[in-house]
Chains A and B, each alone.
Chain A
Amino acid sequence: MRTANPRSIVIWTLVALVGAAGWAVLALARDEEVSAAWMVAAALGSYAIAYRFYSKFIVDRVLKVDKNRATPAERLNNGIDFHPTDRRVLLGHHFAAIAGAGPLVGPVLAAQMGYLPGTIWIIVGVIFAGAVQDMVVLFFSTRRDGKSLGQMAREEIGPFGGAAALLAAFAIMIILLGVLALVIVNALADSPWGTFSIAMTIPIALFMGFYLRILRPGRVSEVSLIGITLLLLALVAGRWVAESSLAETFTLAPSTLVIWLVAYGFIASILPVWMLLAPRDYLSTFMKIGTILLLALGVVFTLPTLKMDPVTDFASRGDGPVFAGSLFPFVFITIACGALSGFHALISSGTTPKMVQKETQVRMIGYGSMLMESSVAVMALVAASVIDPGLYFAMNAPAGVIGDNVQAASQAVANFGYSISPEDLAQAAKNVEESSLLSRTGGAPTLAVGVSEIFSKVTGDSMKAFWYHFAIMFEALFILTALDAGTRVGRFMLQDMLGNVYKPFKKVSWKPGLIITSAVVTGLWGYFLWVGVHEPLGGINQLFPIFGISNQLLAAVALAVCTTLLVKSGRLKWAWITGVPLAWDATVTLTASWQKVFSSDPRVGFFKQRSIYRDAIDDGKILPPAKSMDDMHTVVTNSTVDGVLSAALALLIVVVIADAARICVKHIRNPQSSKLSEAKYVESKLTAPAGLIATKEEKAELAAAAARDSGDERVPS
């Protein structure tokens, strides 16, 4: 028996107490305002314990990571995509790849049910589901030379389940892009400041691309510094533009922005990578890491008070204006990325496993990065909860409910059970130099108001408008990058699928194929964007649940692949590690799909909605919030598309899970019959620490290795 030393017992008891105190205050506070400090304490305490104990248990006992087994980075090292990368660098890479707009937007919308349900799911979900998924996928993909999730599904489950997984991934990508684009449109509509600064990112990126291609190839740091400076300049200049005669040129209606975005998405995705995508990616990575650090510092230093209720009445009534449906299952669906994200499985398989130095590092990179992402989600929830709840609901309810003036909005908010005066609503918009904040749905503007609130506590109120637009730019920047990169990945999937029918499509350099498939992908997400903007019932309200459902369904695919692999690799005893999260995720998501398809509440069920509006059309009536017969027809078409889509996605995932279950049962009955496609064991010659900080033994090993081959390049430590 190993005995723990007294010092570590004391330390971990203290950590547990900090976490427990945080949870206790959050859970027991009623009718008084709680400081965000308790949320931070609950989160950090829980993360520390989970990382120290649960993730260690998984890598040691379940995955049995082997520090003597060479990783693909070591075996297949080609100095380019396969190469052993320092663990601290790879942590940065992996985090920058998984963190995006998702964890910032979801928690903001979920705040409609109060901050408590969201906090619980973000923290518990990441510990038992999200971080486990990311780490286990990373581990299995590392054992398979960095194979993608789709390839693993095909090889380990079968061609049928594999094809269903691929089709689901494609559909999910389209919905993701449509909803992310909608978030930007809602943030930039009628905002000359925001629109100008975002538009300027395009010439800035083009200049950086030219610099890196022609002037000084590969000098990324210097060009990024230039780029960031220009970016901040564009942000400051946005205010001048908004106050000048140019303002009108950059004041765009939502429907105009849709056209610009779709055109941008199409052109950007057929331009060479070096021109726009690569430089924009440098900009957004720096902005992302910088802003997240700033936000963390801001929250910790100012420790703002949470003004939102712990649990609102919408949680049980299910009639919230931001998204319809009750706490179970819709809080889980809405938070999505911050707790469990299927998309991470695409990063954890593919790019990152080709760079892992040591199997032992999957804990720090897979589990650790996801804990960091979860803390970003907690910060977003803090930002949404520090603003006045009245303002929160005025910003996040659909225009059809809120009306188009501050008086009507104040009245509508009062009907929800909150209060804000028309003057305060007008003042809030004036503070951030926007013409109006009413019904700025999508989460990004709310987050930006919260961020400006927190930052201006440090810098003074005069900076409020700057911070608001800074936050908008930061989100819009990486959503634009995602639109470009996502269109390319979607196109790649489509080319692969069409290639089975007509060979030339498989050749990614075949120009007509490239243009056709790009147009199809952009057209598909453009359709959802268009629908979202013109939806009388509110685009985010209708589409965000489908986005959440599709993301969580992709997570179900990843967890099903992991569980199958655990079973097939003789770890049946431990299959619950991913099996329980899979069961939970499938229950939540399929319940949500079921309600979206069959619910008799027209706010939730798409087909009920359809039949009510259909009947009204037959009777020649117009139902609010629709304003005309055209609106009525739009509602009917959209709810049909949304309903069919929800049902189709759910069916695809049921197919994947059923096929995975079949393979598991087959293996349990006859273990000899199944084949595991794992790469052969090769002994590792590298020495590298497992965690962020090298232990005493690891330092000794490193020193011994350095003495052995002193001629090699060294990495500073």
Chain B
Amino acid sequence: MTWVLRGLRWVRWYARELTDESAYDRYVAHTRKTHPGTSIPSRREFERMRTDRQEADPRQGFRCC
């Protein structure tokens, strides 16, 4: 049954990546690695910053016809 578990885990990973649910974890890991010692925003602050960026440049995440 391990391959079923592996498959499910893969689907969960893929869905989190595709929807950018994993964006915060990625950002935290990135900041810890490249700028150790800097303060890390809370998830709430981070998600706000992300939508604010999209607000400022709507070409990010644009969808086609």
Contacts and interface: CB of A to CB of B under 8 A. Distances in A.
Interface of A: 77-81, 83, 85-86, 88-89, 92-93, 96-102, 148, 176, 180, 212-213, 217-221, 224, 272-274, 278, 281-282, 284-285, 337, 341, 343-344, 346-347, 350-351, 478, 481-482, 485-486, 488-489, 491-492, 508-509, 551, 713, 715-716
Contacts of A98: 64
Contact of A89 (B18, B43, B51, B56): B18
B47 A212 contact: yes
A341 B20 CA distance: 26
The 9 A-B residue pairs with the shortest CB-CB distance, nearest first, are A79-B30, A488-B58, A102-B65, A220-B19, A79-B27, A217-B47, A220-B21, A89-B17, A274-B51
Contacts of B48: 213, 217, 274
A224 B19 CA distance: 9
Contacts of A508: 55-57
B65 A351 contact: no
A282 B64 contact: no
Nearest to A99: B64
Given A274-B51, A281-B63, A282-B19, A485 B58 contact: yes
B65 A272 contact: no
B19 to A, nearest CB: 4
Interface string B21-65: 101101101110010000000011011101101111111111111
Given A99-B64, A102-B64, 9 more contacts: A98-B64, A217-B43, A217-B47, A221-B15, A221-B16, A273-B55, A273-B58, A274-B51, A509-B56
A135 B51 CA distance: 28
Contacts of A78: 30
B65 A101 contact: yes
Nearest to B20: A220
A341 B64 contact: yes
B27 to A, nearest CB: 4
Contacts of A488: 58
A99 B63 CA distance: 8
Contact of A491 (B17, B24, B58, B62): B58
A347 B19 contact: no
Nearest to B12: A221
A218 B21 contact: yes
Contact of B63 (A81, A92, A220, A478): A478
Given A217-B47, A489-B58, A80 B53 contact: yes
A716 B30 contact: no
Chain A CB count within 10 A is highest, among B15, B17, B18, B63, for: B63
A383 to B, nearest CB: 18
Contact of B10 (A81, A274, A482, A716): A716
Q: Is the interface of A mostly helix, strand, loop or mixed?
A: helix
Given A80-B53, A89-B17, A485-B58, A341 B65 contact: yes
Nearest to A225: B15
A89 B65 CA distance: 21
A97 B63 contact: yes
Contacts of A489: 58-59, 62
Given A100-B64, A491-B58, A79 B26 contact: yes
A489 B58 CA distance: 6
B65 A273 contact: no
Chain B CB count within 10 A is highest, among A79, A86, A93, A220, for: A79
Contact of B30 (A77, A274, A509, A715): A77
Contact of A343 (B23, B30, B56, B64): B64
Contacts of A88: 14
A80 B23 contact: yes
B40 to A, nearest CB: 11
B60 A485 contact: no
Contacts of B24: 218
Contact of A81 (B14, B34, B55, B60): B60
A154 B26 CA distance: 34
Chain B CB count within 10 A is highest, among A212, A224, A282, A489, for: A489
11 contacts: A79-B26, A80-B23, A80-B50, A346-B64, A347-B64, A350-B59, A351-B60, A351-B62, A486-B62, A489-B58, A509-B56
A488 B60 CA distance: 11
A148 B57 CA distance: 12
A343 B63 CA distance: 9
A219 B16 CA distance: 9
A218 B47 contact: yes
B50 to A, nearest CB: 7
B24 to A, nearest CB: 5
Nearest to B13: A716
B59 A272 contact: no
A221 B13 CA distance: 11
Contacts of A341: 64-65
A545 B48 CA distance: 41
